[in-house]
A and B are shown apart, each in its own frame.
Chain A
Amino acid sequence: MKIQHPFARSLVTFRSWPFVIDLGVALCGLAVFFAILHMAAYWMGTPVPVVPISHSISALPLYAFYSLVRIGIAYLLSLTFAITYGYIAAYNPRLEVWMIAALDILQSIPVLSFLPPVVLAMVALIPGHQLGIEMGVILLIFTGQVWNLAFSFYSSLKSIPREMTEASRIYRYSAWQRFWQLEMPNAAIGLVWNSIVSVAGGWFALIACEMFTMGDRNFQLPGLGSYLQTATFSGDMRALFAGIAAVILIVVATDQLIWRPLIAWSDKFKFEQVESSDRVTSPILTLLQRSTLLSSIPGRIWTHIEEPIYRRMAQTKTCRIVQPLDQDTKRRSGTPGLWIAAALAILVIAWGADQAFLMLRTVSLADVRLLLLGAGATFLRVNASLLISAAWTIPVGVAIGFNPKLARIVQPVAQVMASVPATAFFPILLIGLVKLGGGLGVGSVALMLLGTQWYILFNVIAGAMSIPSDLKEAASLYRFTRWQRWTTLILPGIFPYLITGMVTASGGAWNASVFAEYSHLRHHTLQTIGLGAQIDAATDSGRFSILLLATILISLMVVTMNRLVWRRLYRLAETKYKLEG
């Protein structure tokens, strides 16, 4: 029998130092309380667009705290939005097509283009408080995080096994119970992994947008991003390195304290027939599970919240009748509310299009020509960075992947490296470039590389590890030449993974272009020809028409690339190069 200790879970009475853990948990709770107080005081204070940034290292923890809070709030907002959006899209066949198409377009628009309108809107919306400016930045980070989460949740909902859904219907689950016992658990793994990518994207955006100029208005919020940028301006190397170290420290700590425990915990949501031996472990999770405080109190509170809901839901009419599955489409169609919402949406879109049209009319032909030139340059740069990344990561990744011992060490490192925001390293790169006399043309490619290569490396390693050993043995048995090995075994074997990595990387590279092609450094502005540079320059000078056109162009290019190249390669990867277990 497979079960050796059926009661193992209830018999964990042996604990190493429970008291210390509980004390730690309590102290954390206290810290959170004061943090909230502090944050509230800062937010509700009068708006200060340019908060002076201190360069002393002792100020770093406070700045890190502000940045962390921004990311945390943006992430929670993203998660809520993603779940709502995914839910509506998955259960509303009429809206589904539109919502997914919208998602596809929204996720290809680079975050930084949103910056000026979002901040202006937020400042206008919440006047008289620092909260307005803060919300602008938070919303911006939100737009960088939310789309892949929404997509992940949506596809998890669509992939729930049919019999599971039927079981939930025949046993008359309420919407509440279905959400907690079927939909959320089913989506958990996808959400965790996408959260890692999302938060990494959030850091990238955060560092870029805590400090910016818009027309004649300057904005500077206390945080790590501003710290790094002001340090670069003033050439304070010590502060710069301390700042970068703080960023890396936070990323590594997040990985160890949050993501790894979450990954280990989400393991129980896997659909597997037998328990796999190779699992992610997390000492933190084990510690948390052993804490008496944490393991009993939330559960008890939750039960008190949940029980009345269950009892009430059980009495409702919809829960006493088995709802037919094939009625979903008919039941929801044609409600007046839906039509009103659709009409409103069309009105808003029409208004927006009209405004955009008016704005675009002011763009001169010379501007358009410059923008197109910039688009071409950025396109080449993005692809150059992808090619360079692929060129070094494929051989290195395969070598690592074929050596399981090495892979087990390198893979998590690559994963953490992928989460370190490339924007943090950019100042150093810039200073180096200026010293060497290189232009920003090379520098921007280098910055894109910083951000993109890790995704590819990470995926190539995973791909190489997934090539079955019997295929490798066959290749050596039949004395394949090196060329044959690569063309018949390795490249086809890693192809699906490589494509996944490249798609993620290309998205990141486009996003990075906005930041990379234009930069202020100690009183002079560095820039090169490129769409990203034009977006930045337009932001600086407050030319919204150029900004709009550039954003449309960049989105158009990303969407076209996705449709024409990546989607096709994806299909090829899924049909021809799929290694089935």
Chain B
Amino acid sequence: MQETGIPNETQTSVVEAIIRAEKIEKYYAQPSENRIQVISATDLKIVPGEILALLGPSGSGKSTMLRMLTGLSRPSAGQVYWHEKPIGDTEINVSIVFQSFALFPWLTVLENVEAPLQARGVPPDERRERSLRMLDTVGLDGFQAAYPKELSGGMRQRVGFARALVVEPEVLFMDEPFSALDVLTAENLRSELLELWANKTMPTKAVFIVTHNIEEAVLLADRIIVLGRNPGHIRTDFRVQLAQPRDRKSEPFTQLVDYIYKVLTKPDVAPAQAPDQQAGPRVRDQRQMHYQMLPHARPGGMAGLLELLLDKGGRDDIYRLADDLAFEIDDLLPIVDAAQLLGFLKIEEGDAAITESGAEFANSEILRQKELFRDAAVKNVLLLRQIRRALETKSDHTVPEDFFLDVLDEQFSEEECLRQMETAVTWGRYAELFDFDASRRRFVLPDAQEEEVDANEEAE
């Protein structure tokens, strides 16, 4: 492990936690025996005096975790405690800053900030005074009569902060608060947040931030928890002991960022604690499941990545690749995953290395690329193989989408099923494995191949 990241257990157990989660799980019951596990049993503590960052790839249940900790969503099993009392029956004092700001467009800035106080029965004069003070603190003095739509994104998120802080929350939750903003604005707001925190201008005792941006986590947090997916679980939990203000260019900083990348890009290495085996319905772990989770990437994206990789001599650090492409790592990872799934590249030590078939793919012209893609897809992707097989077997060479959705349903949530299907359609169309008739929601065999298959059948 890194010098900067040391195990956390000894330090937090001394202080009393504000929020403590005990073996919380989230799953969705399915009609069949199975259920979809979103988050496996997890313990977590939020203690006073720290900024805690929750990092993880998309689909690792970061947001679900935040909602369970705030009482917005009840865990399927386990319990969340607020000062050692169950969160479902105590008055808690938390706020959330949302990714989409979630401001009410029909209320003015001042009314938006006043609303939470109104909900708590604060009399009008005091409400107004506290809200104005808070607007002043976040640098929106003079904008109280404006409507949110008249403001820029950064200013809107400032209103979001003012609304969150005006109730003087004990814990401030933030759900990707900066990801809807441009880089400069986000940077600016981050440093202002740190300033408020360091000067104790806000009465908040702890901050919990959900993010997919590794640098953001390392910049802000005193403690970082990395989640893994399928189902969501804690991969690692460690303290960041770099002094504030942190320098992105410094050696320890980049080392820490690198370390987290390695954790994120190698989901199978260094497993987190084993999920508790409890009585009850059987829980299927998606890693042992039948269908692979298709990363939501386009074939064109994969080709682009592989070409770039080939340019760089066939091997490069994923972090650097993302940087070169000016991509967020979260946008790049699905492409890398997809290429890996198809056997076009391998992940070694946080580096992406192109394989033989990957190199051939990157070097070919479009028609040949499609052929290679088709072979790789049929070989590696069960779902695509099944769709193709079904189309060839049926006499009219068409199969309804619902048929496969029902099969996927056993393994994925409803929303994920649709996304899986969307990706399968994109890949299948590109590979010319099948076509999809969106109006009838049916898969069909492309015309030329249909004739071919028919001819074969007749020959037999």
Indicate whether A361 reaches chain B with its CB closer than 8 angstroms: no
Residue B98 lies at the interface, judged by CB distance under 8 Å to chain A: yes
Among A7, A171, A275, A307, point to the contact of B145 (Cβ < 8 A): A7
B198 on interface, CB distance cutoff 8 Å: no
CB of B211 within 8 Å of the partner chain:
no
B96, closest chain A residue (CB): A170
Chain A hits for B119, CB < 8 A? 171-174, 177, 310, 313-314, 319
Cβ of A299 under 8 Å from chain B: no
Known contacts being A273-B149, A324-B74, is A171 close to B104, with CB within 8 Å? no
Q: Which of B407-422 contact A (CB under 8 A)?
A: none
Complex contact A166–B121 (CB within 8 A): no
The stretch from A264-272, A411-419, A447-455 touching chain B is A264-272
Give Cα A271–Cα B70 distance, bound, in whole angstroms.
Answer: 27
**A363 vs B457: C-alpha distance in the bound complex, in angstroms?**
59
The residue on B at minimum CB distance from A314 is: B121
The residues of B that contact A303 with a CB separation of less than 8 Å are 124
Q: Within the complex, what minimum Cβ distance (angstroms) separates A16 from chain B? A: 23
With A310-B121, A321-B88 already in contact, the answer to whether A170 and B146 are too (CB < 8 A) is no
In-complex Cβ contact of B91 among A6, A268, A310, A320 (8 A) = A320
Contact B102 A164 (CB under 8 A): yes
Q: Name the CB-closest residue of A to B124.
A: A307
Determine whether the beta carbon of B89 is less than 8 Å from that of A3. Answer: no
Is residue B273 contacting chain A, with contact meaning CB distance below 8 A?
Answer: no
Residue A274 at the B interface, CB < 8 A? yes
User: A residues 305-321 with Cβ under 8 Å of B?
Assistant: 307, 310-315, 319-321
Looking at the complex, which one of A181, A270, A321 makes contact with B115 (CB distance below 8 Å)?
A: A181
Chain A positions 163-191 with a Cβ under 8 Å from a chain B Cβ = 163-164, 166-167, 169-174, 177, 181-182, 185, 188
* A3-B150, A170-B94, A327-B74 given; A315·B121 CB < 8 A: yes
- Among residues of B, the one whose C-beta sits closest to the C-beta of A167 is B102
Q: Determine if A161 is an interface residue (Cβ-Cβ < 8 Å).
A: yes
- Chain A positions within 8 Å of B89 at CB level: 321
Please indicate the chain A residues that have their CB under 8 angstroms from the CB of B73 in the complex: 324-326
The contact of B104 among A185, A311, A327, A572, by CB within 8 Å, is A185
Within 8 Å CB of B87, what residues of A? 322
Instruction: Please pick, from B67, B104, B147, B149, the residue contacting A182 in the complex, using a CB distance under 8 A.
Output: B104
Q: Mark B413-436, 1 if CB is under 8 A from A, else 0.
A: 000000000000000000000000
Q: When chains A and B are docked, how far (Å) is the Cα of A326 from the Cα of B94? A: 19
Q: Which residue of B lies closest to A7 (CB)?
A: B145
Q: Which of A7, A188, A312 gathers most chain B CB within 10 Å? A: A7
Mask: chain B, 83-109; 1 = CB below 8 Å from A; 0 = not:
000011111101110111010111100
* Residues in A neighbouring B99, C-beta threshold 8 A: 163
Q: Are B102 and A572 in contact (CB under 8 A)?
A: no
User: What per-residue 1/0 map shows which CB atoms of A319-358 lie under 8 Å from chain B?
Assistant: 1111011110000000000000000000000000000000
Known: A173-B119, A182-B104, A310-B119. A3 touches B151 (CB 8 A): yes
B118 touches A177 (CB 8 A): yes
Cα–Cα, bound, A181→B117 (Å): 13
B residues in contact with A525, CB < 8 Å: none
Q: Is the CB of B96 within 8 A of A167?
A: yes
Is B280 an interface residue when CB atoms closer than 8 A count as contact?
no
**Does A279 make an interface contact (CB < 8 A)?**
no
- Scoring B74, B89, B98, B121 by chain A CB atoms within 10 A of each residue's CB, the highest score goes to B121
Whether A322 contacts B92 by the Cβ 8 Å rule is yes
CB neighbors of A among B118-144 (8 A) = 118-121, 123-124, 142-144
A164 CA to B102 CA, complexed, in Å? 5
Given contacts A3-B143, A311-B121, A322-B92, contact A572 B74 (CB under 8 A): no
User: B107: which A residues are within 8 A, CB to CB?
Assistant: 181
Tell me, yes or no, whether B301 is within 8 Å of chain A by CB: no
A321-B152 contact, Cβ under 8 Å, with A182-B104, A307-B124: no
* Residue of A2, A322, A575 with most chain B CB atoms under a 10 A cut-off: A322
Q: How far is the CA of A1 from the CA of B121 in the complex (A)?
A: 35
Alpha-carbon separation in the docked complex, A169 to B92 (Å): 12
- State A320–B118 Cα separation when bound (angstroms): 13
Q: How large is the interface on B (under 10, 10 to 19, 20 to 34, 35 or more residues)?
A: 35 or more
A161 & B120 in contact (Cβ 8 Å cutoff): no
Q: Which residue of B lies closest to A307 (CB)?
A: B124
Measured in the bound complex, the distance between the Cα atoms of B142 and A182 in whole Å is 25
Q: Is A362 an interface residue (CB 8 A)?
A: no
In the complex the two chains form, is B96's CB within 8 Å of A166's CB? Answer: yes
* Binary per-residue interface labels of chain A (5-20) against chain B in the complex, 1 for a CB within 8 Å, 0 otherwise: 0111110000000000
A576 at the interface (CB under 8 A from B): yes
Which of A2, A9, A161, A164 meets B151, CB within 8 Å? Answer: A2
Docked complex Cα distance between A313 and B120 (Å): 8
Q: Return the chain B residue nearest A576 by Cβ.
A: B439
Given A6-B146, A164-B104, A185-B104, A325:B124 Cβ within 8 A: no
Chain B residue at minimum C-beta to C-beta distance from A267:
B106
- For the complex, is B72 an interface residue (Cβ under 8 Å from A)? yes
Given the complex, which residues of B lie within 8 Å of A269, measured CB to CB? 105-106
Check B106–A307 contact: CB distance below 8 A. Answer: no
Rounded to whole angstroms, the CA-CA distance of A8 and B145 in the bound complex is: 8
CA distance A166 to B66 in the complex (A): 12
Distance between Cα atoms of A223 and B278 in the complex (Å): 74
Residue in contact with B120 in the complex, picked from A10, A172, A312, CB distance below 8 Å? A172
CA distance A116 to B118 in the complex (A): 50
A7 to B73, CA, bound (A): 40
Query: Closest CB of chain A to B72's CB: distance in Å?
Result: 6
Interface members, chain A 141-178 (any B CB < 8 Å): 161, 163-164, 166-167, 169-174, 177
Task: Report A299 CB to chain B, min CB distance, Å.
Answer: 12
Q: With A2-B150, A271-B105, A274-B149 known to touch, is A322 a contact of B121 (CB < 8 Å)?
A: no
B446 at the interface (CB under 8 A from A): no
Q: Tell me the complex Cα distance, A272–B147, Å.
A: 11
Partner of A322, one of B70, B116, B123, B143: B70
B94 CB contacts on chain A under 8 angstroms: 170, 322
Within 8 Å CB of B74, what residues of A?
A: 324, 326-327
CB distance from B235 to the nearest CB of A (A): 26
B1 to chain A, nearest CB (A): 36
B438 close to chain A: CB less than 8 A: yes
Quote the shortest CB–CB distance from B329 to chain A (angstroms).
24
Indicate whether B167 reaches chain A with its CB closer than 8 angstroms. yes
Asked if A268 and B124 make an inter-chain contact with CB atoms under 8 angstroms apart, the answer reads: no
Is A572 a contact partner of B106 (Cβ separation < 8 A)? Answer: no
A272 and B152 in contact, given A7-B145, A310-B119, A576-B439 (Cβ under 8 angstroms): no
CA of A428 to CA of B123, assembled, Å: 62
B71 at the interface (CB under 8 A from A): yes
A315 to B119 Cα, complex, angstroms: 10
Among A6, A9, A307, A572, chain B packs the most CB atoms within 10 A around the CB of A6
**Cβ contacts under 8 Å, A313 to chain B:** 119, 121
Considering only residues 195-226 of chain A, those with a C-beta below 8 Å from chain B are none
Smallest beta-carbon distance A271→chain B, Å? 6
- Shortest distance from the beta carbon of A267 to any chain B beta carbon, whole Å: 10
How many angstroms between the C-alpha atoms of A426 and B193 in the bound complex? Answer: 69
Mask of A96-119 contacts with B, CB within 8 angstroms, 1/0: 000000000000000000000000
Asked if A324 and B123 sit within 8 Å, CB to CB, the answer is no
Chain B hits for A1, CB < 8 A: 152
Closest to A325 in B: B72
Interface pairs A-B: 6 shortest CB-CB: A314-B121, A171-B116, A322-B71, A163-B102, A320-B91, A167-B102
**Can you give 23 A-B contacts (C-beta < 8 A)?**
A1-B152, A7-B142, A161-B100, A164-B104, A166-B102, A171-B115, A171-B119, A173-B115, A181-B115, A185-B106, A268-B147, A270-B105, A307-B123, A310-B121, A313-B121, A314-B119, A321-B88, A321-B90, A322-B71, A324-B73, A324-B88, A326-B74, A572-B439
Given pairs A3-B151, A8-B145, A324-B88, 18 additional interface contacts (CB within 8 A): A6-B144, A10-B145, A163-B102, A166-B96, A169-B72, A170-B70, A170-B94, A181-B104, A185-B106, A268-B106, A270-B105, A271-B105, A275-B150, A310-B118, A321-B71, A321-B90, A321-B92, A322-B72
